[in-house]
Amino acid sequence: MKVAIVLGTRPEIIKMSPIIRECEKQGLDYYILHTGQHYSHEMDRVFFEDLELPQPTYNLDVGSGMHGEQTGKMLAGIEQILLKDTPDVVLVQGDTNTVLAGALAASKLHIKVGHVEAGLRSFNRDMPEEINRIMADHISDYLFAPTENSRQYLLNEGIPDEKIHITGNTVVDAVFQNLEIAKRKTNVLEKFGVEQKGYFLTTIHRAENVDNKERLQSILNAFEQIHSKYELPMIFPAHPRTVKMMENFDLTAPEGTQIVEPVGYLDFLQLENGAKLIITDSGGLQEEACIHGVPCVTLRDNTERPETVEVGSNVVAGIGANIMDAVETMIKKNSDWTNPYGNGTAGELTIKKLL
């Protein structure tokens, strides 16, 4: 069996790293096709090196752009490679434009498609990620659902049960495997002058938050209140988009909020693991906080990770006064919840099901 692993963003590299390692372990015939959806080839070369992964066989270097333009470029590029280097199955992960392009290109060439992390739903069609994940699920042959919830969503949409396999989420494998690498290579807490459980970690990057001045101002106001009450620094690795919009809206970081350059994944893993509380609008970070045993407050009106809310590791706060209320609730939490995403064998189970 020949496998093509199609990815394009750093979260995909992270969540596919256990799959890549399992392919290596099994001695499978496989290759990595990197669309370059967000980052330059050179920046991602370092990323693969840090995670001790083989470099991609193919790089499209598509870059960012409007959804249609970007997806179209990837679709054309992936199709050419699949025609030249034909696999038996194409694996995609998550909900990016890369996922949609990879699944669509393979499907039209009658190549089997496996969707890793299938069945996630926010039920908000305003999010482009929701459209991507729904379309990818409905043209995939193998749907690797992380939880029973995800499986049920797929069944409710009429997808046959025999296509669905519950594997757990590869993010658990990735956290366990890559945290070990991080501990060998870096000590980011020392770099930022903070101690274990002596800071809050925050990220905001979603358009619904950073492209709206009132929402962004409300979030920054909440950061100021949190610091004032708990007297702990807010470490804020800021996405370039967020920094740009803060400048456009003439907004500044409040006292106690330390805006830092985006950090590498291994450094970020350590920041997650050492935080007292995580405040974010990231989907993947909700999962990772749950796995690390760190309480999470989500700055959104909904989540496609309801399992984190159900087990008590996460609360969906929205914005405004709700943020402070949610922080006060979650900071008292004992980290005794059961991780709903599996025990770190999702990569192994996925390849086993595929074989």
Query: Using H for helix, E for strand and C for coil, what is the string for 307-335?
Result: HHHHHCCEEECCCCHHHHHHHHHHCCCCC
Provide the residue type at 147 as one letter.
Answer: T
Question: Do residues 238 and 260 touch, judged by C-beta distance below 8 A?
Answer: yes
Question: Do residues 169 and 143 touch, judged by C-beta distance below 8 A?
Answer: no
Q: How far apart are CA 29 and CA 72, in angstroms?
A: 28
Considering 34, 110, 115, 205, which one is annotated as catalytic?
A: 205
Beta bridge partners of 257: 234
Which residues, 6 or more positions from 213, have their beta carbon under 8 angstroms from its beta carbon? 249, 251
Per-position DSSP letters for 141-206, written without gaps between them: SEEEESSHHHHHHHHHTT--GGGEEE---HHHHHHHHHHHHHHHH--HHHHHT--TTSSEEEE---
Which residues, 6 or more positions from 72, have their beta carbon under 8 angstroms from its beta carbon? none
- The alpha carbon torsion through 265, 269, 270, 275 (nearest 10 deg) reads 130
Which residues, 6 or more positions from 322, have their beta carbon under 8 angstroms from its beta carbon? none
Q: Which of 279, 275, 273 is nearest to 296 (CA)?
A: 279
Q: How far apart are CA 130 and CA 123, in angstroms?
A: 7
Token duo for residue 169 = 């989420």
Question: Do residues 321 and 139 touch, judged by C-beta distance below 8 A?
Answer: no
Q: How far apart are CA 239 and CA 212, in angstroms?
A: 15
Cβ-in-10-Å burial (0-12, 13-18, 19+) of 25 comes to exposed
Active site residue 41: no
Q: How far apart are CA 134 and CA 294, in angstroms?
A: 30
Residue with tokens 């909440």: 222
Active site residues: 205
